């Protein structure tokens, strides 16, 4: 379902408050956290598919704030020094999922997170559910992965992914 206008307004208010907190910080340069590197290749494909299948269950806590705070704003401002506050606000509001899930993060759409990785909070950049975390810990990447999303006792979805041969 499309996001309710009041949820998008709540996101905007939250972002304005986070940018105000950044502006009022005594040492804003110390708030900049290094960004977690984005996953690539088959691992990124598996994570995208897993996040899409869960239908926002893991991202429920993100609500209308997506864990965005002055530390995230400090990093985004440092990476985009030419962007003013309005441009940054626009980056976030344009990334809101046009279709989402009830009670999940505004950025969780049918294909997973709609917020580009450089704009996400570090909590979101580093978090993986137990199944995805276990997959990413494996030393040897499997050729095929079966992802099953559960909602309580019911299976919410299933997908099988196979890695393309190198070359």
Domain ranges, ordered by start, for the chain: 5-128
pLDDT per residue as tens digits for the range 57-68: 888 899 999 999
pLDDT attached to residue 163: 80
Note whether 134 and 47 are within 8 A (CB).
no
Closest to 164 measured CA to CA, from 136, 145, 137, 139: 145
Q: Is the pLDDT of residue 114 over 90?
A: yes
User: In Å, how far are 11, 80, 128, 137 from 157, measured between CA atoms?
Assistant: 29, 38, 18, 23
């Amino acid at each position: 379902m499309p996001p309710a206008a009041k949820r998008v307004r709540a996101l905007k208010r939250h972002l304005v408050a986070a940018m105000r907190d950044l502006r009022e910080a005594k040492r804003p340069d110390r708030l900049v956290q290094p960004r977690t590197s984005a996953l690539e290749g088959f691992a990124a494909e598996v994570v995208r598919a897993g996040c899409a299948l869960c239908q926002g269950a893991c991202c429920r806590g993100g609500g209308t704030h997506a864990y965005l705070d002055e530390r995230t704003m400090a990093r985004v401002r440092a990476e985009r020094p030419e962007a003013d506050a309005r441009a940054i606000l626009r980056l976030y509001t344009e990334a809101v999922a046009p279709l989402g899930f009830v009670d999940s993060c505004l950025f969780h759409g049918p294909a997973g997170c709609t917020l580009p990785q450089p704009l996400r909070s570090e909590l979101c950049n580093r978090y993986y559910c137990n199944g995805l975390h276990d997959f990413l810990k494996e030393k040897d990447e499997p050729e095929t992965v079966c992802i099953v999303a559960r909602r309580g006792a019911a299976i919410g979805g299933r997908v099988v992914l196979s890695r393309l041969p190198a070359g």
